[in-house]
């Protein structure tokens, strides 16, 4: 039987960058293919070419045994390909059914609302989507919204689904459920391309993996025959182990961040003290108050009760800018809309929070000459791979985008840092870079609050570990002979 | 709405138009748009039973035929440029300010009132004071809009549009009352004192308003690209979350942008009153508010590009009016041709940004 999808000799360049350099890729019906590679290796580009979003420079695509030349996603959808984007294309004020009916192909013959709701119910049952056709999108979790997109694909009879980093914003249970849905789709004969940086997931669900490196095909393997270490090596050419912080390597400094009974919507009575040279890892299932805590510390969320001290300053009511000036750096989890302005340049993003301070400017004026010089320095120092400071940030790979944020926040020599999901969407090498930066800062005497849903990272760099559940801290432990069972209990909200 | 011209692209089926190729330059697109609008205009003029060729010659002659015509076209472009730049400043921050019309009207009233209050002032003083009063009146009016929008969380589109009606009625009331000329057949003020008339440029029939407007556009360019405030506007227009994270307060940005837009529109009103009518006339600002938005979008909210955009519309209108006089096509047709041209050009610009 011919493969469901065959991509042959795909080349796509952006100026001097060869994002896809002669790539061949096949997907069978009833197969989950893992598409792996470092940030910027060309995975999304390849999928955008397939989906008609980017015309290739050269190469051929065959789909369901016929040539496919999609000029737009519309053509690709018609041919039976669906791409689930990270940012969902749903109307929040409408119900699931209404969203599915929106842009339903075949214009003239309008499907009845009731009929569609019934289709949705059936498909939802068959694939374990657990979706209520009458639920409003705004009331659904990210994971559920993603399933609406998957449902759309199913109902439009897509034979091939492209999932580009679908798990990076999901809670662990939602990830497990998504993987189950993928398995059901596979058993119904659909082909799936699954892009992820999380190797355990990939090994769990995929049948076969294809690895890209710098735009080229770097390897291919059946999952049954490969280990995590081998896979990591295929991706980056070496195995990247987690760093390790050993307690007591250096002296603790002064009190840098002191939080007393901090409360806000979704956050109740958080208390901790943090000295210079200390990393407090905050673990927990995503959505248990981590975002609220990060925002309350950064000055982006009104505080209803409690005190925040940054160094000697009472920052409880201080503005965002005042907190930056007190020495607080903040790496938000939401990179696309908060930490970065994707439509603006590398230079603009490096100056984002510092435009009123030298070298970027004064209170009244920007000083582009010295600002650009600083931006160039930062690009070199933090190894931001971009053609120049005027390059649009949204076109950088995920790893390089995060490097822009890190360069901006850490180059201020902060005394306190709040980092939230700082490694989301990053490949193992880039993840290592972020963790190393945190450790270096600790060595320089900064106090760091490292919030992450990746327990492995927390265990790797924290001096102390706090676990959040239901908007409060469920427990704190030094990072020494940690009882993982205890951490699990705290995470599930049960106080031991 | 982060990028206004992208909204335009969404509103018009750009891809259906033959010229929306993927990688052509902006120049090619605009040239094609102009060509297409000429064809459409030709068809419309022919349908009206007139010769398209004669029509086009009349437009060209009306716009560029003499120093007098060029001057008239420059005068016409002036309020569009001033108020368009103001609207663009707001759009940069994602604020849709449709209140230019009311701000222009009150600006005119402010300028007229000030000029009439100091009848014996020396010319330079009279003009500066009157224009400043106009700008202040415009800014005060947009300030009202900002206050309602921020204080009561009413959408700015609604607030600015509704305040237009109130502003027009206010001016009417002023003209019916103490600003009005007793015994005149229409609602108008007495003639401005001579010292407050805007001087004309040598060899041209244009008053110096266009120079003021160009300087304002340059100033807006500087504000947007060379100050932290302008940077804040650009960040806020792209992402409100990022602006908050960067420490730019939304209310400060909104106050600032709205006040500037109001001041520029008020200045436009003052320039109209002192340069063209030399008195305050009821309804002198009719239609200017939407032209301001059109010009801002045509110039892609880039002050330096709004200069040619405003001139384009000013010359097109002046030429079209001449065509109407010379070959007698109906006024409505002229408006349709103008509108079509603007739509084609906007679509051409939007298509390139895809
Ligand atoms: N629109 C664009 N313009 C210019 N360069 C681009 C554009 N899109 C992607 N690139 C470049 O092409 C290369 C491949 O990018 P791509 O997004 O495909 O990587 P990726 O493998 O999906 O990375 P990530 O894991 O970070 O998502 C990168 O160097 C990127 O900077
Ligand atoms: Mg990608």
pLDDT digits (tens, 9 = 90+) for A294-328: 999 999 999 999 999 999 999 999 999 999 999 99
Residue A325 lies in a domain: yes
The verdict on residue A60 lying in a domain is: yes
Least confident window among A169-178, A423-432, B6-15, B324-333: B6-15
Cβ atoms A39, A430 nearer than 8 A: yes
Last residue of a domain, one of A188, A209, A236: A236
User: Does residue A347 lie in a domain region?
Assistant: yes
Per-residue pLDDT at A27: 95
**Residue A325: closest CA among chain B residues belongs to which residue?**
B247
CB B141 within 8 A of CB B165: no
Work out the average pLDDT over A24-53.
Answer: 93
**Pairwise CB contact (< 8 Å): A355 & B245:** no
What average pLDDT does this structure show over A216-220? 91
**Same domain assignment for residues A202 and A326:** no
* Paired tokens of A146: 């993603």
**What distance in Å separates the CA atoms of residue A97 and residue A133, rounded to the nearest whole number?**
5
Give me the phi and psi of A103, to 5 degrees please: 65, 25
In B, minimum Cα distance to A321 occurs at: B247
The DSSP string of A227-239 is -HHHHHHHHHSS-
CB contact under 8 Å between A365 and B245, yes or no, is no
Q: Rounded to an integer, what distance in angstroms lies between the CA atom of residue A197 and that of residue A257?
A: 33
For residue A35, give the H/E element and its range: strand A32-37
Is ipTM > 0.90 here? no
Q: Say what the pLDDT of residue B267 is.
A: 98
Q: Which of A273, A246, A252 is nearest to A439 (CA)?
A: A246
Q: pLDDT band for position A239 (50/70/90)?
A: low
Domain count of the fold of chain A: 2
* pLDDT on residue B21: 36
Report the alpha-carbon distance of residue B244 to residue A320 in Å, rounded.
8
User: Are residues A192 and A334 part of one domain?
Assistant: no
| Cβ-based neighbours of A213, under 8 Å, separated by 6 or more | A37, A38, A41, A235, A236, A237
Lookup: tokens for A306 = 């409690």
Q: pLDDT at residue B19 above 70?
A: no
Q: Which of A334, A341, A364 sits opposite B238 (nearest CB)?
A: A341
Q: Which of A267-271, B287-291, B336-340 has the highest mean pLDDT?
A: A267-271
A162-200 pLDDT per residue, tens: 999 888 777 778 888 899 999 999 999 999 999 998 888
State whether residue B81 is helix, strand or coil. Answer: helix
Considering only the C-alpha atoms of chain B, give the largest distance between any 2 of them, rounded to a whole number of Å.
63
**Averaged over B64-86, what is the pLDDT?**
94
Task: Give the least confident one: A163-172, B72-81, B83-92.
Answer: A163-172
Contact A362, A356 (CB under 8 A): yes
User: Does position B54 have pLDDT exceeding 60, yes or no?
Assistant: yes
Mean pLDDT to the nearest integer, B213-227: 97
Token pair belonging to A395: 């076109």
* Contact partners, residue B347, CB within 8 Å, separation at least 6: B8, B9, B12, B14, B17, B20, B33
Answer whether residue A395 is part of any domain. Answer: yes
Report the length, in residues, of chain A. Answer: 496
Do residue A332 and residue B245 have CB atoms under 8 angstroms apart? Answer: yes
pLDDT band at B311 (very low <50, low <70, confident <90, very high): very high
pLDDT at B20: 34
Interface test with B, best of A14, A295, A338 (most B CBs within 10 A): A338
The nearest CA of chain A is from the CA of B22 a distance in Å of: 10
Burial B318-329 (b: 16+ CB within 10 A, else e): bbbbbbbebbeb
Ligand 2 centroid distance, CA of A38 (Å): 9
For residue B245, which residues of chain A lie inside 8 Å, CB to CB? 298, 300, 320, 330, 332, 338-339, 352-353
Residue B189 β-bridge partners: none
Q: Which range marks the domain in which residue A17 is found? A: 5-236
Is A250's pLDDT higher than 70?
A: no
Same domain flag for A322 and A211 = no
pLDDT confidence of residue A45 = 93
Distance of CA A333 to the CA centre of its chain: 8
Residue having the nearest C-alpha atom to atom 9 of ligand 1: A395
CATH number at residue A418: 3.40.50.300
Q: What is the least distance, in Å, from the CA of A62 to any CA of chain B?
A: 24
Neighbours of ion ligand 2 (CB under 5 A): A 44
Query: Could you count the other beta carbons within 10 Å of the beta carbon of residue A105?
Result: 9
Q: Does the beta-carbon distance from B242 to A337 stay under 8 Å?
A: yes
Beta carbons within 10 angstroms of residue B177's beta carbon: 8
CA angle centred on A436, ends A430 and A441, rounded to 5°: 130
Residues A226, A279, single domain; the answer is no
Q: Which ligand is nearest to the CA of A393?
A: 1
pLDDT of amino acid B290: 86
Mean pLDDT of chain A: 90
What DSSP designation does B65 have? Answer: S
Name the closest-CA residue to atom 18, ligand 1.
A42
Confirm whether A245 is domain-assigned: no
**A243 falls within a domain:** no
Tell me whether B245 touches chain A (CB under 8 Å). yes
Assess whether A176 and A269 both reside in one domain.
no
pLDDT of res. B10: 38
Residues in A touching B247 (Cβ below 8 Å)? 319-321, 324, 353
Radius of gyration of chain B (CA): 21
Average pLDDT of the segment spanning B9-22: 36
Interface of chain A toward chain B, CB-CB under 8 angstroms = 55, 298, 300, 319-321, 324, 330, 332, 334, 337-344, 348, 351-353, 355-356, 361, 363-366, 368
Tell me which residue of A405, A439, A432 sits closest to A279, measured CA to CA.
Answer: A439
Read off the pLDDT band of A1 (50, 70, 90): confident
Q: Are B155 and B161 in contact (CB under 8 A)?
A: no
Q: What per-residue confidence (pLDDT) applies to B134?
A: 98
B338 vs B100 pLDDT, higher one: B100
Q: Is residue A94 part of a domain?
A: yes
Residue B46 has pLDDT above 50, yes or no: yes
Question: Which one of A300, A341, A353 has the shortest CB-CB distance to B239?
Answer: A341
Task: Give the contacts of A225 (CB within 8 A, at least 6 positions apart).
Answer: none
The two structure tokens encoding residue B118: 């100091």
Same domain (yes/no): A210, A295: no
Residue pairs spanning A and B at CB distance below 8 A: 69
pLDDT at B11: 37
Terminal Cα-to-Cα distance of chain A (whole angstroms)? 57
* B95 Cα to chain A: minimum distance (Å): 18
Beta bridge pairs of residue A35 = A195, A210
In a domain, A248, yes or no: no
Q: Is the pLDDT of residue B337 over 90?
A: no
Final residue of a domain: which of A179, A201, A236?
A236
Nearest CA in chain B to A409: B246
Of these ranges, A130-139, A249-258, B10-19, the one predicted with the greatest mean pLDDT is A130-139
User: B261: distance to nearest CA of chain A, Å?
Assistant: 19
Tell me: pLDDT of B14 over 60: no
A391: which 2 tokens?
A: 């390059």
Q: How far apart are CA A486 and CA A483, in angstroms?
A: 5
Q: Which of B2, B225, B246 sits opposite A353 (nearest CB)?
A: B246
Task: Assess whether A31 and A162 both reside in one domain.
Answer: yes
Residue closest to B269 by CA, chosen among B257, B254, B279: B279
The 8-class DSSP code of residue B121 comes to: S
Q: Are residues A88 and A178 in the same domain?
A: yes
Alpha-carbon dihedral B275, B281, B283, B286, rounded to 10 degrees: -10
* Beta pairing class for A191-195 and A305-310: unpaired
Verify that A208 and A286 share a domain, yes or no: no
Query: What is the model's pLDDT at position A407?
Result: 96
The C-alpha atoms of residue B78 and residue B275 are separated, in whole angstroms, by 10
Max distance between CA atoms of chain A, in angstroms, equals 73
| CA pair distance B194, B16, nearest whole angstrom | 55
Residue A111, pLDDT score = 64
In chain A, the residue whose alpha carbon lies closest to the alpha carbon of B226 is A366
pLDDT tens per residue across span A109-141: 566 778 888 888 988 888 888 889 888 988 888
**Which domains occur in chain B, in start order?**
1-50+329-354 (no CATH), 66-328 (1.10.3470.10)
Do A359 and A430 belong to one domain?
yes
Minimal Cβ distance to A321: which of B2, B3, B247? B247
Residues on chain A touching B226 (C-beta within 8 angstroms): 365-366, 368
pLDDT greater than 50 at residue A105: yes
Please, which pLDDT band fits residue B32 given cuts at 50, 70 and 90? confident
The residue with greater pLDDT, A321 or B290, is A321
Inspect the interface and report whether the beta carbons of B228 and A363 lie closer than 8 Å: yes
Contact (Cβ atoms closer than 8 angstroms) between residue A121 and residue A151: no
Q: How confident is the model at residue A246 (pLDDT cuts 50, 70, 90)?
A: low
| Mean pLDDT along residues B169-181 | 91
**Is-above-0.80 flag for pTM?**
yes
A379 & A424 share domain: yes
| The Cα angle at residue A49 between residues A46 and A54, in degrees rounded to 5 | 125
Task: Indicate whether A138 and A268 sit together in one domain.
Answer: no
Residue B97 has pLDDT above 90, yes or no: yes
Distance CA B295, CA A131 (A): 47
Q: Cβ neighbours of residue A201 under 8 Å, at least 6 residues apart?
A: A167, A175, A179
Kindly identify which residue of chain B lies nearest to residue A343, measuring between CA atoms: B238
pLDDT, tens digit, 9 for 90 and up, residues A79-96: 999 998 766 778 888 888
Ligand 1 binding pocket (C-beta < 6 A) is A 14, 17, 19, 37, 39-45, 395-399
Residue A394 banded pLDDT, cuts 50, 70, 90 = very high
């Amino acid at each position: 039987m011919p493969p469901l999808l065959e991509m042959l000799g795909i080349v796509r360049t952006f100026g001097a960058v060869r994002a896809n350099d002669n790539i061949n890729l096949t997907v069978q019906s009833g197969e989950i293919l893992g598409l792996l590679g470092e940030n910027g290796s060309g995975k999304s580009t390849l999928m955008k070419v397939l989906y008609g979003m980017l015309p290739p420079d050269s190469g051929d695509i065959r789909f369901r045994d016929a040539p496919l030349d999609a000029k737009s996603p519309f053509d690709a959808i018609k041919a039976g390909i669906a791409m689930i984007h990270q940012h969902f294309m749903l109307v929040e004020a409408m119900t699931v059914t209404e969203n599915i009916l929106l842009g339903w192909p075949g214009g003239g013959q309008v499907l009845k609302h009731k009929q569609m709701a019934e289709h949705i119910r059936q498909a939802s049952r068959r694939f374990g989507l657990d979706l209520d056709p009458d639920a409003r999108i705004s009331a659904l979790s990210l994971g559920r919204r993603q399933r609406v997109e998957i449902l759309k694909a199913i109902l439009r009879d897509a034979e091939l689904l492209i999932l580009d980093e679908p798990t990076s914003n999901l809670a662990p249970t939602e990830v497990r459920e998504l993987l189950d849905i993928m398995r059901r789709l596979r058993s119904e004969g659909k082909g799936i391309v699954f892009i992820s940086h999380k190797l355990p997931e990939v090994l769990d669900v995929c049948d076969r993996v294809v690895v890209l490196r710098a735009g080229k095909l770097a390897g291919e393997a059946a999952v049954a025959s490969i280990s995590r270490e081998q896979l990591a090596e295929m991706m980056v050419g070496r195995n990247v182990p987690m760093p390790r912080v050993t307690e007591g390597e250096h002296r603790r400094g002064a009190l840098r961040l002191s939080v007393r009974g901090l409360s806000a919507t979704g956050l109740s009575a958080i208390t901790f003290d943090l000295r210079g040279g200390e990393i407090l890892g905050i673990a927990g299932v995503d959505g248990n108050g981590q975002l609220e805590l990060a925002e309350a510390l950064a000055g982006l969320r009104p505080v209803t009760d409690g005190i925040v001290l940054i160094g000697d300053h009472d920052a409880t009511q201080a503005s965002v800018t005042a907190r930056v000036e007190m020495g607080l750096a903040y790496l938000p989890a939401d990179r696309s809309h908060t930490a970065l302005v994707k439509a603006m340049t590398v230079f603009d993003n490096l100056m984002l929070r510092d435009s009123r301070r030298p070298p970027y400017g004064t209170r009244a004026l920007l000083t582009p000459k010295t600002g650009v010089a600083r931006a160039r320095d930062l690009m070199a120092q933090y190894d931001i791979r971009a053609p120049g400071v005027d390059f649009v940030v949204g076109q950088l790979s995920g790893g390089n985008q995060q490097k822009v944020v890190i360069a901006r926040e850490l180059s201020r020599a902060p005394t306190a840092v709040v980092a939230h999901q700082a490694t989301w969407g990053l490949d193992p090498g880039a993840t290592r870079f972020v963790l190393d930066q945190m450790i270096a800062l600790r060595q320089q005497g900064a106090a760091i609050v490292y919030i992450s849903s990746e327990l492995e990272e927390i265990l790797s760099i924290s001096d102390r570990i706090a676990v959040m559940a239901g908007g409060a801290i469920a427990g704190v432990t030094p990072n020494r002979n940690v009882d993982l069972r205890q951490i699990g209990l705290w995470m599930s909200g049960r106080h031991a | 709405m982060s990028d206004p011209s992208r909204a335009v692209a969404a509103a018009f089926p750009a891809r259906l138009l033959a010229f929306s190729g993927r990688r052509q330059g902006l120049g090619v697109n605009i040239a094609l748009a102009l060509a297409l609008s000429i064809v459409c205009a030709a068809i419309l003029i022919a349908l009206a039973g007139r010769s398209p060729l004669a029509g086009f010659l009349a437009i060209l002659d009306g716009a560029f035929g003499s120093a007098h015509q060029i001057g008239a076209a420059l005068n016409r472009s002036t309020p569009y440029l001033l108020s368009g730049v103001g609207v663009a400043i707001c759009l940069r921050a994602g604020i849709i300010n449709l209140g230019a019309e009311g701000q222009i009207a009150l600006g005119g009233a402010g300028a007229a009132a000030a000029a009439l209050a100091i009848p014996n002032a020396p010319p330079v003083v009279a003009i500066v004071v009157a224009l400043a009063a106009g700008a202040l009146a415009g800014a005060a009016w947009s300030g009202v809009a900002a206050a309602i929008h921020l204080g009561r969380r009413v959408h700015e589109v609604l607030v600015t549009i509704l305040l237009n009606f109130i502003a027009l009625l206010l001016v009417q009331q002023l003209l019916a009352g103490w600003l009005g000329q007793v015994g005149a057949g229409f609602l108008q003020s007495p003639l401005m004192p001579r010292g407050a008339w805007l001087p004309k440029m040598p060899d041209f029939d244009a008053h110096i308003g266009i120079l003021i407007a160009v300087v304002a556009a340059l100033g807006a360019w500087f504000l947007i690209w060379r100050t932290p405030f302008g940077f804040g506007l650009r960040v806020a227009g792209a992402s409100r979350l990022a602006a908050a994270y960067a420490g730019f307060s939304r209310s400060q940005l909104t106050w600032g942008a709205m006040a500037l837009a109001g001041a520029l529109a008020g200045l436009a009103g003052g320039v109209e009153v002192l340069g063209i009518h030399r008195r305050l006339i009821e309804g002198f600002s009719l239609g200017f508010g939407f032209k301001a938005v059109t010009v801002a979008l045509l110039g892609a909210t880039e002050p330096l590009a709004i200069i040619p955009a405003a001139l384009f519309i000013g010359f097109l209108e002046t030429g079209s009016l001449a065509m109407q006089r010379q070959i007698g096509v109906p006024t409505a047709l002229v408006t349709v041709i103008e509108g079509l041209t603007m739509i084609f050009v906007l679509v051409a610009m939007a298509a390139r940004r895809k």
